[in-house]
């Protein structure tokens, strides 16, 4: 503990035993958070933003507790990471044991079982019963980059196709793959070459065009502007994350995947945000019956420990030369121990079903809200990945100001929500799957209240 730490925080334990309640004892942010935030501004680059400057001391189940003793309902999961719940007991035990045994050897120097076990689990759990291999990394962006390296090595081709509204990360290659300029790319060029963008199926904004039609349009762009024989990989989020929780029309993904297969192009599903039970399937591709050649996972995989993976066809994964993939920390033993505990919890706690139950609670209430409020243009999503797109009534014109106002109102009322979308006009909800029903309902009560108050 440093001299700056709040003495009270040392005695606070997180996890599901935290009181599962929304409790506001100060304004949001409270005085201790305000003080910490002033320190942050003096010490941390101002380029690292903060959605909600309440400083956490504990979290678990469906709440985040701050330094002032406020307990906020969590509809964010640290951006879709704490899917099994913060400080899940199984994760805490596995991490504690591993930390006590050894923290690092580097898998490329003297390997260990945990890495191999995570690879085996991902090979078994990801869609398709073909022979698979996995490589582990630290962040989502790093894994996406590696998927591209693997696809290039396998195909001997260079071009990469991504889609409108895509988000794939903030490293140089993944910035090029990400669609939105502000805040992700602005002033940070030049970007990596050989990245091309195709149109996406976006039912709310393309007149509900059917999936096969939208795919034909994307394929036309790819064939005319890139050429299949130049193309190493198509990389797509099965449900968009930062880009606005867009669910492509049914058939879109399958048609793109089939075209890739017919043309020797590696089809990569970026399931960094959607993977590991979040959408009411272990992987979001499953909703569309799509088996990707490579699948990228991160976020929900290790309960908050930094870990990401590329999993796919053995012959694709084995294409790069030995030593061609790696990194000092990739597949760190503590992160691997956490991932094994997460995957166990997903099965033991029935979290795929839990995500579906969360959808079944959220969608009807949000759709009822939409009936009463013409500013809600669209309610969409799957599982515990649900969003509201806000527009000027009777149009599809994005309303970012209203979105920011509603997010701030939710925060002030003790509900953590995030925004997203190319136009910043989407309110998104990503509760931990460990959230109890009464908090899920109360979070929805808060949303109803703030929508009513803003009319």
Tell me: does residue 168 bind ligand PLZ (CB under 6 A).
Answer: yes
Q: How far is the CB of 150 from ligand PLZ (least distance, A)?
A: 16
Do the Cβ atoms of 70 and 28 come closer than 8 Å? yes
Nearer to ligand PLZ, 237 or 413 (CB): 237
Instruction: Give the Å distances, CA to CA, from 80 to 42, 85, 86, 301, 305.
Output: 29, 10, 11, 10, 13
Q: Is 170 in the site for ligand PLZ (CB under 6 A)?
A: yes
Among residues 80 and 450, whose Cβ is nearest to ligand PLZ? 80
Among 70, 139, 332, 419, binds ligand PLZ (CB under 6 A): 139
For ligand PLZ, the closer CB: 145 or 293: 145
Which is closer to ligand PLZ, CB of 20 or CB of 311?
311
Query: CB of residue 296 vs ligand PLZ: minimum separation in angstroms?
Result: 7
Q: Crossing angle, helix 400-412 and helix 437-453, to 10 degrees?
A: 130
Report if residue 76 touches ligand PLZ, rule: CB under 6 A: no
Nearest distance in Å: CB 421, ligand PLZ? 13
- Min dist CB 171 to ligand PLZ, Å, is 7
Closest CA to 399 of 417, 380, 373, 381: 373
CA-CA distance, 410 to 415, in Å (whole number)? Answer: 5
Among 14, 60, 169, 244, binds ligand PLZ (CB under 6 A): 169
Considering the complex, state which of residue 18 and residue 52 has its C-beta at the smaller distance from ligand PLZ: 52
Residue 428, beta-bridge partner list:
387, 418
Nearer to ligand PLZ, 198 or 446 (CB): 198
What six digits make up the tokens of 431? 């509760």
* Residue with the CB atom nearest ligand PLZ in the bound state: 140
Identify whether 282 is preceded by a cis peptide bond (ω within 30 of 0). Answer: no
57 or 298: whose CB is closer to ligand PLZ?
298
Q: Which stretch binds ligand PLZ (CB under 6 A): 96-104, 162-170, 227-235, 322-330?
A: 162-170
Handedness of CA 95, 101, 104, 106 (dihedral sign): negative
Pick from 16, 241, 303, 304 the residue near ligand PLZ by CB under 6 A: 241
- Is 419 one of the binding residues for ligand PLZ (CB under 6 A)? no
Percent of the chain that is helix, strand, coil (3-state, to 5):
40, 15, 45
Closest by Cα among 222, 307, 235 to 263: 222
Determine contact, residues 359/383, Cβ cutoff 8 Å: yes
C-beta closer to ligand PLZ: residue 352 or 385 = 385
Q: Is 419 helix (H, G, I), strand (E, B) or coil?
A: strand
Write out the binding residues for ligand PLZ, residues 242-281 only, by CB under 6 A: 242, 270, 272-273
Q: How far is the CB of 137 from ligand PLZ (least distance, A)?
A: 9
Single out the residue of 243, 246, 172, 160 nearest to residue 211, CA to CA. 246
- Smaller CB separation from ligand PLZ, 16 or 381: 381
Residues in contact with ligand PLZ, counted by CB under 6 A, come to a total of 16
Task: Considering the complex, state which of residue 85 and residue 241 has its C-beta at the smaller distance from ligand PLZ.
Answer: 241
Residues 270, 273, 277: CA angle, nearest 5 degrees = 105
Q: List the one residue from 298, 362, 366, 447 that touches ligand PLZ (CB under 6 A).
A: 298
Contact between 301 and ligand PLZ by CB under 6 A: the answer reads no
H or E element in which residue 207 lies: none
Residue with tokens 């003080």: 35
Asked if the bond preceding 29 is cis, omega within 30° of 0, the reply is: yes
Contact between 79 and ligand PLZ per CB under 6 A: yes
The answer to the question of residue 164 lying near ligand PLZ (CB under 6 A) is no
Residue 203 CB, nearest distance to ligand PLZ (Å)?
Answer: 19
From 126-134, 164-172, 340-348, 441-449, give the range in contact with ligand PLZ by CB under 6 A: 164-172
DSSP E strands, 90-249: 132-137, 159-163, 195-198, 231-236
User: What burial class does residue 83 get, using C-beta atoms within 10 Å of its C-beta: 0-12 exposed, 13-18 middle, 19+ buried?
Assistant: buried
Q: Interface with ligand PLZ by CB under 6 A: which residues?
A: 79, 139-141, 144, 167-170, 237, 241-242, 270, 272-273, 298
């Amino acid at each position: 503990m440093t001299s700056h730490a709040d003495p009270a925080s040392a005695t606070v334990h997180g996890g599901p035993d935290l009181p599962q309640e929304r409790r506001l004892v100060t304004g949001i942010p409270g005085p201790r958070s305000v003080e910490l935030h002033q320190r942050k501004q003096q010490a941390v680059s101002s380029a690292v933003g903060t959605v909600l400057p309440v400083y956490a001391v504990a979290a678990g189940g469906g709440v985040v507790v701050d330094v002032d003793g406020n307990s906020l309902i969590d509809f964010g999961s640290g951006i879709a990471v704490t899917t099994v719940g913060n400080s899940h007991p199984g994760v805490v035990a596995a991490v504690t044991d591993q930390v006590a045994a050894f923290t690092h050897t580097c898998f490329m120097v003297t390997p260990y079982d945990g890495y191999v076990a995570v690879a085996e689990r991902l090979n078994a759990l990801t869609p398709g019963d073909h022979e698979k291999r996995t490589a582990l990394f630290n962040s989502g962006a790093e894994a996406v980059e590696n998927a591209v390296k693997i696809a290039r090595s396998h195909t001997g081709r260079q071009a990469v196709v991504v889609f409108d509204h895509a988000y794939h990360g903030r490293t140089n290659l993944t910035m090029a793959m990400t669609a939105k300029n502000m805040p992700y790319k602005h002033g940070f060029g030049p970007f990596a070459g050989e990245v091309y963008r195709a149109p996406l199926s976006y039912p709310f904004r393309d007149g509900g065009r059917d999936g096969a039609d939208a795919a034909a349009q994307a394929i036309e762009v790819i064939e005319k502007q890139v050429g299949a024989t130049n193309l190493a990989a198509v990389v797509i989020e099965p449900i968009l994350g930062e880009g606005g929780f867009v669910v492509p029309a049914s058939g879109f993904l399958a048609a793109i995947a089939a075209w890739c297969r017919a043309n020797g192009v590696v089809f990569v599903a970026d399931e960094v945000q959607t993977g590991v039970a979040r959408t009411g399937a272990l992987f979001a591709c499953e909703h569309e019956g799509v088996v990707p050649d490579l699948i990228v996972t991160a976020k929900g995989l290790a309960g908050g420990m930094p870990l990401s993976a590329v999993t796919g066809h053995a012959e694709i994964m084995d294409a790069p030369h030995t030593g061609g993939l790696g990194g000092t920390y990739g597949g760190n033993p503590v992160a691997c121990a956490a991932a094994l505990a997460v995957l166990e919890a997903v099965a033991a706690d029935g979290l795929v079903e839990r995500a579906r139950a969360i959808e079944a609670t959220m969608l009807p209430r949000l759709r009822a809200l939409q009936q009463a409020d013409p500013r809600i243009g669209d309610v969409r999503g799957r599982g515990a990945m649900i969003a509201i797109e806000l527009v000027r009534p009777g149009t599809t014109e994005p309303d970012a100001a209203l979105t920011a106002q509603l997010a701030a109102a939710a925060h002030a009322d003790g509900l953590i929500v995030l925004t997203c979308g190319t136009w910043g006009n989407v309110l998104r909800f990503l509760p931990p799957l460990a959230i109890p029903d009464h908090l899920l309902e109360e979070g929805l009560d808060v949303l109803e209240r703030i929508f009513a108050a803003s009319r």
